[in-house]
Structure 1
Amino acid sequence: MAEPHPSKMFPVKPKLKSKPRTPKQTPESKYWSSFKTQQIPNLISVPSLTFSPSSPHSFAAAHSASLSIFSSETLSVSSTISSFSDVVSCASFRSDGRLIAASDLSGLVQVFDLKTRTPLRRLRSHTRPVRFVQYPLFDRLHLISGGDDALVKYWDVAGETPLLELRGHKDYVRCGDSSPVNMDMFVTGSYDHTVKLWDVRVTDSRSVAEVNHGKPVEDVIFLPSGGLIATAGGNSVKLWDLLGGGKLLFSMESHNKTVTSICMGRIGGDTGEESNQFRILSVGLDGYMKVFDYSTMRVTHSTRYPAPLLSVGYSPDCSTQVIGTSNGIIYAGKRKTKEKEKEKEESESSMFWRIAPVEKPKRQVLRPSNFRYFQRGQGEKPSMGDYLIMRPKKVKLAEHDKLLKKFRHREALVSVLGSKKPENVLAVMEELVARKKLLKCIANIDMGELKLLLMFLHKYSTVPRYSSLLMKLTQKVLEIRADDIRASDSLKSHIRNLKRSVEEEIRVQQSLQEIQGIITPLLKIAGRR
């Protein structure tokens, strides 16, 4: 085999170094990642987040015995309501955004004027903590509430009296949602594992439909069509077809712990316009926020937060998402649209409209007929018609590469063995194998260098990504240098250590094969189901 010419020598490159696998980012994942998150700290556990349906879509956060209203534009507190005697559990804006209803663990439901922050109505009827309260869509006169007394109440807000007291749940009522297409219908979820559909026009106060989630229900929402609902409980989010008699359509079980809250989200365009691509956003105690596309029945995005998550909200204009945690931090994400960026640039440029732009003097174009064309110097930038000739960059060689360039193979191997980078040692060995010089180098190294080689083989020969070459090399070393190893006690000790590590690796591999033999049939059975 012909030796490579020294002038054409290039550095040896490690080939066995594994590269980290980066997941491919989809367009939808890029969309949800475009929300620039900032923290709103110094709160206490945030069990409820809700957005105002009217522009500019402020959002309310329940924390301790307070209810804070935040601006969705600046993500700062605009007002705080503290007229509560116990922990606030839930809040709901009226359809016009002027009033907000809030419940607390004392069993009281209050209605506040957002401008004056004064309580306009106090609704007292629940005997246990109230866990949820909501205004029906486009209904400004009634409220729905449910609590730990297992009762659901339908209120006349003006008269401060419950028009209906709906009985049917056998455990705490923890959540509910009103229909987006009919303001007389709503659903409630309970710790008795059931979700019930109610119609206030039914005179006997019985639920008109019921589904069993199988776990205590933490949250329930209507999907935009009004015929489907999503329930959250345990580690799953389930879709149900109410029009089809409460048929289970799909169960998403991508969370590792309890799913605490879900909400509907809509993908918005760069111009701020809304699309018809709806998603279910879910958060859980495992710290994950999942985005679920129920048209394809798959999770399209996932984000990890450093604390258990209790609540999630998404603005109607698709510009803001907020997530409440158990440690009192709100992670608020704001998405900038191209339209807003353009408006910002126009507003900034309008501030300087009186200042005339400074015209740059035009440079004379140099042509080959001008003598200065040939005296431009190295600092001149090339034009479109010029041919640019680049000098080849000087390749910086390591010590072992310099020795390989001079064909000093044994010295190159010894030099790289002294380094602390096993990938470089493997690269040099592969180069020597390609030159058919590795075995000759092993035969010519002295006792001290042989000891260095045996130490390297003992340390890395059982490493999976190096073992294919090093195990064969170990066998050749024992064959070629057997006499030297027998004559030296220190070399014998290195061989014993090498033998022990190889035997241990063989035992580990046998145990892994036994485990694989046990698991493989179980996986096949699970796949059939």
Structure 2
Amino acid sequence: MAAPAQHIQPVKLAALPAALTPDNRYWRTYKSPLLINSYAAITHTTFAPSAPHDLVVSSATRVQIFSSKTRAVSKTIARFKDTVYSANIRADGKILVAGDATGLIQIFDVSSRVILRSFDHHKQPVQATLFSPTSMTTLMSASDDTTVRLWDIPSHEPTHIFSGHADYVRTGAFLPGASGTIISGSYDGTVKLWDPRISTASSSGGCVMTFTHAHAVESVVPMAGGTTILSAAGSTLNVLDVVAAKALRQLSNHQKTVTGIATAGANRVLSAGLDGHVKVYETREWKVVHGFKYPEPVLCLGVSPDDKHLVVGMANGLLSIKTRASGAQKMDMLSEIGRLAELGIDEAIRREKKTRSKNYQRKIRGMDYKGGAEDIVLMDKDRKRKLKKWEKAFMRSNYGEALDEVLLIKDPVVPFNALTALKHQSALRAALQGRTEETLQPILKYLLKYLQDPRFFNLLADVTMLLLDLYAASFGQSKAIDALVVKLYQRVNDEVRKSKSATEVHGMLSLLLAGSE
């Protein structure tokens, strides 16, 4: 009795480095994307400093407050005559401030939406408004009239007017700490530090430090320690050191203007730009560790203080909110993983089977039985998996046909398995020879695409050499084949160059290690 035809056994390949880094895994947990359409561009987004960290969105002539729990609009404030910018909630969560394009600053009671205070000293649009983190009655504003002002809310009057900028002031913030120092960024390309303890009538006008940029400054954000400032100017993100009074880094990872900066956790920074990209940086080497792509230019972004929500506002009025799993959900997932680990795989599968329907249990009854030592187990013809088309051609010794069929499969491992089997059968030359222009192109394209893969290199190098031996005399007769051969030649040269560089580095490391012993 003839033995049944066996499937060609797949080759076990070496494991490649993990495609996902810890940062990739972390930022991909921001799921459950919610897209909200507005009728105008989103000018500013921020989160309330106090729990539950509700989201505040400024767009057109209204400010919307989204609940951090339901991600739905809980309140809308629409008492503005023109475009509203930079709405912010105070640390206690009770009042909100916003400036608009008319130069008016208004303070609202969050619960009743009643106007508590109005300041009309600015004569041009107010681009930034922010409460002091250390004083409940202090407020700062930055305006297109080139001034930065500190306000005392009860007295309705500005306590300081800083006027050292020469162009629109579009961004500002308080430095962490009790000094009350503020920073501002202007379209004159400068970032200035202002100290309210110094009189504005002095020669410096209250300015204690200036950083100069080559482009207009769109955003400034201080980092937690208070000695580092992040600024966005043109298509670059700049890392400024207040202690050394100089720029430490200039990151040029965006193709267009950087419009927003946000910090996440203790050591991650995000930047958004008009190119529709959001980049995530680690703060040790300032390298990009992750990225997001959005369909429209991004005007603003923010990360909630508890790192639960990531929000992005776009130029077409689209608001994107991504949310991580809650603590309870994460604990449920971890407990389930721990439970399965304690049970073991076999026991977990057995319990899962018990929860399925009776029909399914009847269907799988006896499938786990392997037979005793004295038993003879017959193969059920109905359960026998059919050979694939290329495997049948291989069994009939139609090696060229088998290779043609397998090259149509997208998974690169399957053609590699077929080439390995052909080599073991000493049939590789038979499968490659006698080919036309149309049947030779798929092989060259496969080699061109996967020759640099370290798992496939040894075998594909042999296939390449055999092809050159078989068809070298035919080169120059087909433009398509010649173009593929030239690309393959360039790919091999790249690999040779990389190998030489790796050998040089290995030699240098060997000398260093030998010297240290």
**After alignment, is 5-14 or 27-36 more displaced?**
5-14
1:295 deviates by 3.4
1:402 deviates by 3.3
Cα distance per residue 1:25-62 (max 9 Å; x no partner): 23333222222242241212111111111222212100
Structure 1 Cα separation of the partners of residues 64 and 239 of structure 2: 32
**Cα gap change, 1:430/1:508 in structure 2, threshold over 3 Å: closer, same or farther?**
closer
Structure 1 stretches of 5 or more lacking a match? 267-276, 345-375, 444-449, 480-494, 517-529
Match status 1:465 vs 2:459: no
Structure 2 Cα separation of the partners of residues 281 and 56 of structure 1: 22
**Cα gap change, 1:457/1:208 in structure 2, threshold over 3 Å: closer, same or farther?**
same
Residue 224 (structure 1) aligns with = 224
The correspondence for 1:60, drawn from 56, 61, 65, is 56
**Cα pair 2:407 2:443 within 8 Å, conserved:** no
**Cα gap change, 1:432/1:222 in structure 2, threshold over 3 Å: closer, same or farther?**
closer
SS of 2:27 mapped into structure 1:
helix
**Cα pair 1:458 1:498 within 8 Å, conserved:** no
SS of 2:207 mapped into structure 1:
coil
**After alignment, is 503-512 or 311-320 more displaced?**
503-512
* Code of the aligned partner of 2:365: G
Structure 2 Cα separation of the partners of residues 15 and 502 of structure 1: 32
Match status 1:29 vs 2:19: no
- Correspondence list, 1:306-345, <5 A: 306-339=295-328
* Code of the aligned partner of 1:231: S
* Code of the aligned partner of 1:28: D
**Cα gap change, 1:475/1:74 in structure 2, threshold over 3 Å: closer, same or farther?**
same
1:77 deviates by 0.5
Structure 2 Cα separation of the partners of residues 318 and 477 of structure 1: 60
Structure 1 Cα separation of the partners of residues 44 and 378 of structure 2: 65
Larger radius of gyration: 1
Cα distance per residue 1:365-407 (max 9 Å; x no partner): xxxxxxxxxxx99836979xx99x99888453234533543xx
Structure 1 Cα separation of the partners of residues 471 and 47 of structure 2: 73
Structure 2 stretches of 5 or more lacking a match? 334-361, 449-459, 496-517
Structure 2 Cα separation of the partners of residues 377 and 115 of structure 1: 61
1:6 deviates by 6.7
Please give the TM-score of this superposition, normalised by the length of structure 1: 0.71
**Cα pair 1:39 1:329 within 8 Å, conserved:** no
* Code of the aligned partner of 2:230: A
Residue 163 (structure 2) aligns with = 167
Cα distance per residue 1:70-106 (max 9 Å; x no partner): 1111111111111111101111212211111101111
**After alignment, is 183-192 or 497-506 more displaced?**
497-506
1:430 deviates by 6.2
Cα distance per residue 1:257-285 (max 9 Å; x no partner): 2111112222xxxxxxxxxx342222111
**Cα pair 1:307 1:325 within 8 Å, conserved:** yes
**After alignment, is 454-463 or 425-434 more displaced?**
425-434
Match status 1:301 vs 2:290: yes
Residue 44 (structure 2) aligns with = 48
**Cα pair 1:230 1:237 within 8 Å, conserved:** yes
**Cα pair 1:14 1:427 within 8 Å, conserved:** yes
Residue 386 (structure 2) aligns with = 396
Residue 281 (structure 2) aligns with = 292
Residue 372 (structure 1) aligns with = none
Structure 1 Cα separation of the partners of residues 282 and 251 of structure 2: 10
Structure 2 Cα separation of the partners of residues 303 and 22 of structure 1: 22
Structure 1 Cα separation of the partners of residues 61 and 246 of structure 2: 40
Match status 1:435 vs 2:414: no
The correspondence for 1:73, drawn from 69, 72, 88, is 69
SS of 1:322 mapped into structure 2:
strand
Q: CA RMSD in A?
A: 4.1
* Code of the aligned partner of 1:435: Q
Residue 258 (structure 1) aligns with = 257
1:114 deviates by 0.7
**After alignment, is 231-240 or 66-75 more displaced?**
231-240
Cα distance per residue 1:263-310 (max 9 Å; x no partner): 2222xxxxxxxxxx3422221112222222223433332222222111
Match status 1:90 vs 2:90: no
Residue 339 (structure 2) aligns with = none
* Code of the aligned partner of 1:10: H
**Cα pair 1:60 1:67 within 8 Å, conserved:** yes
Residue 194 (structure 2) aligns with = 198
Structure 2 Cα separation of the partners of residues 496 and 63 of structure 1: 64
Residue 270 (structure 1) aligns with = none
Cα distance per residue 1:404-456 (max 9 Å; x no partner): 43xx42x453576578728888876764554345667899xxxxxx6xx3244
Residue 213 (structure 1) aligns with = 213
Please give the TM-score of this superposition, normalised by the length of structure 2: 0.73
